[in-house]
Amino acid sequence: MRSPDPDLESRLLAVLPLARGFDRERLLSRLGQVGGRRSEAVLAPIVERTVKAPSSERATALQGLAQLRGADGLAAYRTALGDRDLFVQMLALGMLRLHDPTGVAAGDAEAWVRRRMQGRQDRKIWDFGELPLAVGYFTSVGRLEPLARVLVARDADLLPVERRVLERMWPLEERHRCARGEPTGAPDLTGLGDLGHSHEYYVDVECETRGLPPLRWPTPSPDRDAEWLREAELEDEAILARLERRLRRV
């Protein structure tokens, strides 16, 4: 989490009413990185849907608000779990995994899983990361039994790729034991990020399923990540400067 930058925050807030589309999303994201109370006052209503905004902005605002509030943003994350957009819901579950160690939102998360499992085979919109994120959250709060009961009861509704990934993370036999309240090992959360697993993880699962040797993936580079961040900041500054020129002409 970065330190607040009141001057940059003021510049961002001044031009935000002029921004549209991608430009507006970038400014909202930047507010989450450098803002303070004034930025929270802009981001929170978007997440809470008291201000009309497209789903892409709600997702960006949620990420920004999480950077500003951390564990103090539980109410907003729980609200976002009921968003209309699946990506926003998954972001919210990821935030709860990070910031809800005592399971305050466990009931909300269980209800969300139950909703997502209903008619799953017929759903047009679903995501690979939904159930792995749920496993990650319930593992983090130490309450796996409610999730195990749902997954065992709805096992026939799992999609094929979900079945393979879950078997790798948390074998069906272990889920059955957990659902019965018996002692069981913890799920394997290796590679689970804020939005689920990477594409590489799923390729590895397929290779394992087909008996193929695992692929060799490039080693993550901190230097490459730092370069990407610098490029993003330069792009944000260019957007800000362009909007400031527009603001002076108004």
- Cα–chain-centroid distance for residue 42? 20
The mean pLDDT value for 27-53 works out to 95
Least confident of 137-151, 167-181, 190-204: 190-204
Q: How far apart are CA 39 and CA 68, in angstroms?
A: 9
Cβ neighbours for 104, distance < 8 A, ≥ 6 positions apart: 74, 78
| pLDDT value, residue 220 | 76
Q: How far apart are CA 71 and CA 98, in angstroms?
A: 8
pTM above 0.85, yes or no: yes
The mean pLDDT value for 16-45 works out to 96
Over the stretch 218-239, which tens digit does the pLDDT of each residue have?
887 888 888 888 999 999 999 9
| pLDDT value, residue 59 | 97
| pLDDT value, residue 58 | 97
Over the stretch 59-105, which tens digit does the pLDDT of each residue have?
999 999 999 999 999 999 999 999 999 999 999 999 999 999 999 99
172: exposed, middle or buried (Cβ count in 10 Å: 0-12, 13-18, 19+): middle
Q: How far apart are CA 183 and CA 37, in angstroms?
A: 46
Q: Is 193 helix (H, G, I), strand (E, B) or coil?
A: strand
pLDDT at 125 over 70: yes
Phi, psi of 123 (to 5 degrees): -70, 135
Percent of the chain past pLDDT 90, that is, above it, reads 76
| pLDDT value, residue 10 | 96
| pLDDT value, residue 2 | 63
Residue by residue, DSSP assigns 91-111 as: HHHHHHHHH-TT-TTHHHHHH
